[in-house]
Amino acid sequence: MTTLQSYIAGRWIGQEAAQSLRSAVNGQAVASTHAEAIDFAEALAHARGVGIPALMKLDFQQRAERLKALAKYLAANKEALYAVSAHTGATRADGWIDIEGGAGTLSAYASIGTNELPSGNLVHEGPAFPLGKKGGFAGTHILVPRGGVAVHINAFNFPVWGLLEKFAPSFLAGMPCIGKPATATSYLTEALMKLIVQSGILPEGSLQLVIGSTGDLLDRLEGPDVVTFTGSADTAAKLRVNANLVRQSIPFNAEADSLNCAILAPDVTPDDEEFDLFVKEVAREMTIKAGQKCTAIRRAIVPRQHLDAVAEKLRARLAKTVIGDPSREDVRMGALASRDQQADVAERVATLLQGAELVYGERDGFSPVGDGVSEGAFFAPTLLLSRKPLEHDAAHDVEAFGPVSTLMPYDGIDEALALAARGKGSLVGTLVTRDPAIAAKAIPVAAAWHGRLLVLDREAAAESTGHGSPLPVLKHGGPGRAGGGEELGGLRAVKHYLQRAALQGSPTMLAAVTGEHVRGAALRESEVHPFRRYFEELRIGDSLLTHRRTVGEADIVAFGGISGDYFYMHFDEEAAKASPFGKRIAHGYFVLSAAAGLFVSPSPGPVLANYGLDTLRFIKPVGIGDTIQARLTCKRKIDRNKKDASGQGQGVVAWDVEVTNQLGELVASYDILTLVSKKPETT
Ligand code: NDP
């Protein structure tokens, strides 16, 4: 039997077996934890002394590239993980969520890093804004790497995704990580870690793995460090008050128990497609991962008049679920992760049954298929009915972490929402309705208690990612009982691992710190047009003040003719007189076009493409006879390490454009986004 190994300070630790871990399917020993104690002082010293410098040698863009490479590597080697995953009781479909969902999350964060983060290791959370009247003093916000270590403690149910979804944003933010999987399924996380180390993609010190206890790790953390946790509310409550974490204000992010609900809205009748969608979603959430999902539907809230119909349809669906050895192709639901979990779920169902009836459960012919499964941690899909849910506290408080859900009748949508809120804070809730007015009324009320909400109807159903799937781009985490934490949510998650500081100073200083031009900062003007400089040659603040152009009526007429825009403000003297401007004015898009004509350097050069505008505002009207002028300033450069088809390197350059009139007043303001070629490589 294999002894699992921790990966600490660049080496594998663990020769001597300690606790043996059993297959959820047949009860046979799969692996054991190791007996050797981990020196957490050494682990932290390695993360700080080796990991942080190695991560800081890279920037956001380069770390995003590493994530992308790792995602590819894991996808290419996924079968090694599927082979181990079956021991956790997971079917291939369950394993897909964990394994490919994990690699997919890395990949999603690689794209988020590439597309939304700058080069370098500082995020400017702009725009900067003036704090004085003369323009010499401004303020903004910056985000920088915390210079600490992220400790990620995970639950047993997602041994791969659990680590990767926490690792990806923290790695991107430049934090070395120490991952601690739940012991019961740590053999799968260890297999993942072996692949990661073997890939050689991550800089040394950026990820360490703890098999077994975290010992005195939390007591040794320091102010810049972070702890994230997924697991039971009891453990979360214990760990978040660790004296050292409290004393040093070390952020503790928790995802804990959650009694998520799905509400069948009062407008849906048994003849509607939505009725079946509701039943399907509840049954699916009960059986995927054998209900061991922090997002699974624990409470199915239905209009009283449809209670029997929902119960009947659910019974029929659950009865069709083939349960057993998850490696068999016909099996739809595998086992719980361990015999301990099996006992725990049975105990919680017994508690729930004190105020509920059994609609479907073990007595309905439960018999797992497969060889040797009698020692497995199987549990029958169990549907309960709480007839008086407002009086049944356990239905809202006791999370049976298995294929267990409770039906609850309601009278009126307000009562349904009151029942939803009895979960005291949930990760996710689903509202199944056809009526936009019900969604508009119910969702804002439910949102106060939920981290994520799915409104399901026939239109969304075909593409719906489902009630239970956290997505990298959407926030995962709920208030109250659900732990009060936030994970994922696109760039938000990266920001959780960065330190935000407000910054005040002159525009010149703000530009120097943020690496972004701030209006009012010193400019650099030269004979060379900025569009004639290669990406490497361009500096923030390189600027061009154009010649001027007087706008005539002919311009307006010509632009109207070309664009077909004969809006009265440009063409109807009388109506324009009666307008707030009191006169005919030029099209805003003409001003933009004319400004481009003023600042462009027409012959071929390093500027390859203009791919858009940001923050466009038409601030003052431009009338017939007004004279406009443009200032073009290099505002921001991002090196995404991209090359075109011919291998020519290129970078992104954002230009600040100010268009002014003859009085020096700003008439239009925007950023233009361009791709600029790097210097051709000389061979
Ligand atoms: P636990 O809270 O027992 O464990 C979660 C993680 O915390 C594990 O890695 C565990 O390690 C670790 N841990 C436990 N005690 C300590 C400690 N004192 N110091 C440091 N780490 C510690 O949850 P389980 O994973 O065992 O799941 C139990 C229940 O939690 C489930 O039945 C379910 O109700 C709930 N749960 C909720 C989830 C959610 O996100 N909502 C997800 C998963 C579970 P070890 O395994 O070594 O004890």
DSSP 609-623: EEEEEEEEEE-S--B
658 DSSP assignment: E
Pick the catalytic residue from 294, 399, 516, 658: 294
Ligand 1: residue whose CA is nearest its atom 47? 183
Give residue 260's pLDDT.
Answer: 98
Query: What is the per-residue pLDDT across 485-524, written as a single tens digit (0 to 9) for each?
Result: 999 999 999 999 999 999 999 999 999 999 999 999 999 9
Q: Does 255 qualify as catalytic in the annotation?
A: yes
| Overall size of the chain counted in residues | 683
Tokens representing 400?
Answer: 């049976």
Tell me: the pLDDT tens digits for 118-165?
A: 999 999 999 999 999 999 999 999 999 999 999 999 999 999 999 999
Q: How far, in Å, CA of 549 to CA of 627, rounded?
A: 5
Alpha-carbon distance values, 514 to 119, 126, 142, 447 (Å): 11, 9, 7, 36
Q: Helix crossing, 60-76 with 78-85: angle to 10°?
A: 60
Closest ligand 1 atom to Cα of 153 = 9
- Dihedral sign computed on CA atoms, order 212, 215, 219, 225: negative
With a 6 A CB cut-off, is 400 part of the ligand 1 pocket? no
Residue 266 has a CB neighbour count (10 Å cut-off) of 19
682 has pLDDT over 80:
no
373 band by pLDDT with thresholds 50, 70 and 90: confident
Q: What pLDDT is recorded for position 586? A: 98
Cα–ligand 1 centroid distance for 445 (angstroms): 30
- 426 Cβ below 6 A of ligand 1: no
> Is the distance from the beta carbon of residue 255 to the nearest atom of ligand 1 less than 6 Å?
yes
Q: Mean pLDDT, the chain, as a whole number?
A: 96
CB atoms within 10 A of CB 115: 12
* Contact criterion met (CB below 8 Å) for 335 and 326: yes
CA distances from 125 to 141, 270, 574, 617 (A): 5, 50, 46, 20
> What is the Å distance from ligand 1's center to 547 Cα?
67
- pTM for this model (two decimals): 0.92
Is the pLDDT score of 653 beyond 70? yes
The arithmetic mean of pLDDT across residues 459-478, rounded, is: 96
Per residue in 562-574, pLDDT tens?
A: 999 999 999 999 9
Structure tokens at 269: 């009748």
pLDDT tens digits along 198-243:
999 999 999 999 999 999 999 999 999 999 999 999 999 999 999 9
Q: Which of 25-29, 182-186, 377-381, 533-537 has the lowest mean pLDDT?
A: 25-29
**Bridge-based pairing state of the strands 297-303 and 357-360:** unpaired
| The pair of three-digit structure tokens given for residue 56, joined into one six-digit string | 């800081």
pLDDT at 154: 97
What is the mean predicted confidence (pLDDT) over 541-552?
98
pLDDT at residue 683 greater than cutoff 70: no
DSSP 120-165: SS-EE----EE-SSSSS-EEEEEEEE-SS-EEEE--SS-TTHHHHH
Percent residues over pLDDT 90 in the chain: 94
Task: Please list, residue by residue across 317-352, b when 16 or more beta carbons sit within 10 angstroms of its beta carbon and e when fewer do.
Answer: bbeebebbbbbbeebbbbbbbbbebbebbbebbeeb
The confidence band for 647, taking pLDDT boundaries of 50, 70 and 90, is confident
Closest CA to 171 of 228, 219, 128, 220: 228
First and final C-alpha spacing in the chain? 56
Best residue for ligand 1 mutational test, from 227, 235, 476 (most atoms within 8 Å of Cβ): 235
Cis? peptide before 270, omega within 30° of 0: no
CA dihedral 642, 644, 646, 647 (to 10 degrees): -10
Per-residue pLDDT, 544: 98
Residues 281 and 314: their CA atoms lie apart, in Å, by 10
Number of Cβ within a 10 Å radius of residue 453: 18
- The mean pLDDT of 666-679, rounded to a whole number, is 97
CB count within 10 Å of CB 41 equals: 11
pLDDT band at 642 (very low <50, low <70, confident <90, very high): confident
The one-character DSSP state at 580 is T
Q: Return the amino acid letter for 507.
A: P
Instruction: Compute, in angstroms, the gap from residue 599 CA to the centroid of ligand 1.
Output: 60
CA angle 389, 393, 395 (to 5 degrees): 65
Asked whether 395 lines ligand 1 (CB < 6 A), one says no
From ligand 1's centre to the CA of 181, what distance in Å? 9
Instruction: Tell me, using a 6 A CB cutoff, whether residue 153 lines ligand 1.
Output: yes
From the alpha carbon of 232, which atom of ligand 1 is closest? Answer: 30
Q: What is the pLDDT of residue 375?
A: 87
Going by CA atoms, what residue is nearest to atom 8 of ligand 1?
Answer: 182
